[in-house]
Structure 1
């Protein structure tokens, strides 16, 4: 199942080390089939407060994503980013298709409106 490596970087200091990280990350992704889906870009704010940049990298599956993140090549450049950018980084899987919003309710006991559980 497709897995996404997502980074929501709240604050990034654009400096020589960030530039070096950007110059090298593509080479770390290639052996694992990682590809950028979102890399910053203009945000149209609809609700809430959003600050920073969103980065989404797609992998064929979670194992490839994990192997990339743990690879010596990526670990070698990771400090270039972590010293100059703060935020949240995580993996998340794509939903199985077809998917309906109510699919997340399977196996969850939902209280009936107006009735105490």
Structure 2
């Protein structure tokens, strides 16, 4: 069943580290069946705390999403994201 990796950025604290993440994360998708559906686009908050940015990535299933997230290539890029900002990240199964 389709799964979605959702990244919700709370606060950007280091733009230089985030730029490094942005420059390197694309390579991590090679060989993974991922489709980026949204990435830091215009948003309209309806309830709760407004996030600084949102990314939604579609995968065929949870296992595929975890395979990408846990891959050495993504983990190498993610180190820069962790230094750059605070995030909430979830993988959710579709209906």
TM-score, normalization by structure 2:
0.89
What is the distance in 1 between the residues matched to 2:81 and 2:7?
A: 11
Tell me which moved more, 79-88 or 48-57: 48-57
**Runs of 4 or more consecutive aligned structure 1 residues displaced over 4 Å after TM superposition:** none
- Consecutive unaligned residues in structure 2, runs of 5 or more: none
User: Greater RCO between the two (CA within 8 Å, min separation 6)?
Assistant: 2
Q: Retained in 2: the 8 A contact 1:69–1:75?
A: yes
Which structure has the greater CA radius of gyration?
1
2: CA distance, partners of 1:73 / 1:46: 35
Q: Deviations over 1:78-107 (max 9, x none)?
A: 110001110210100111xxxxxxxxxxxx
Cα deviation, residue 23, structure 1: 1.4
Asked if 1 retains the 8 angstrom alpha-carbon contact of 2:14 and 2:83, the reply is no
Q: Secondary structure at the match of 1:31?
A: coil
Partners of 2:10 and 2:87 within 8 A in 1 = yes
**Aligned-CA RMSD value:** 1.4
1:13 CA displacement: 2.8
